[in-house]
Amino acid sequence: MTDFIQELSKCRAYGTQIPFRPEAVRGYTEQEIERISRRYNLNIHGQFRQLLLQMGRCSGGLVWSDEITLYDARWQPRLFKQYQTAESQAMLEDAAIHTGYLKSGIHPIIHKLFPWRFNNDRTAAYCLVTEEPDDYIWHQYDDGFTIKKTAFTLLEDLRRSVETVTKRALGLGFDYTEEDFALFTTGRLL
- Averaged confidence pLDDT in the chain: 89
**What is the share, in percent, of the chain residues with pLDDT greater than 70?**
94
Residue 147's pLDDT band, with cuts at 50, 70 and 90, is: confident
More confident residue, 11 or 17: 11
Model confidence, pTM: 0.90
Residue 124's pLDDT band, with cuts at 50, 70 and 90, is: low
Residue 18 has pLDDT above 70, yes or no: yes
Dihedral pair phi/psi, residue 47, rounded to 5°: -65, -35
Nearest-angstrom CA–CA distance, 145 and 159: 25
* Domain ranges, ordered by start, for the chain: 18-155+168-185
Question: For residue 120, what pLDDT is reported?
Answer: 61
Are the CB atoms for 20 and 168 separated by under 8 Å?
no
**What is the share, in percent, of the chain residues with pLDDT greater than 90?**
52
Output the CA angle 42-162-10, nearest 5 degrees.
110
Question: For residue 43, what pLDDT is reported?
Answer: 97
Our measurement of the distance from residue 10's CA atom to the centroid of its chain's CA atoms, rounded to an integer in Å, reads 19
Our measurement of the distance from residue 58's CA atom to the centroid of its chain's CA atoms, rounded to an integer in Å, reads 13
Residue 60 has pLDDT above 70, yes or no: yes
At what angle are helices 95-104 and 77-93 packed, to 10 degrees? 100
Quick one: 154 exposed, middle or buried, by C-beta within 10 A (0-12, 13-18, 19+)? buried
Are the CB atoms for 66 and 74 separated by under 8 Å?
yes
How confident is the model over 88-122, as pLDDT tens digits?
A: 888 888 887 777 788 888 888 999 999 998 776 55
Helix (H) / strand (E) element for 66: namely: none
More confident residue, 180 or 151: 151
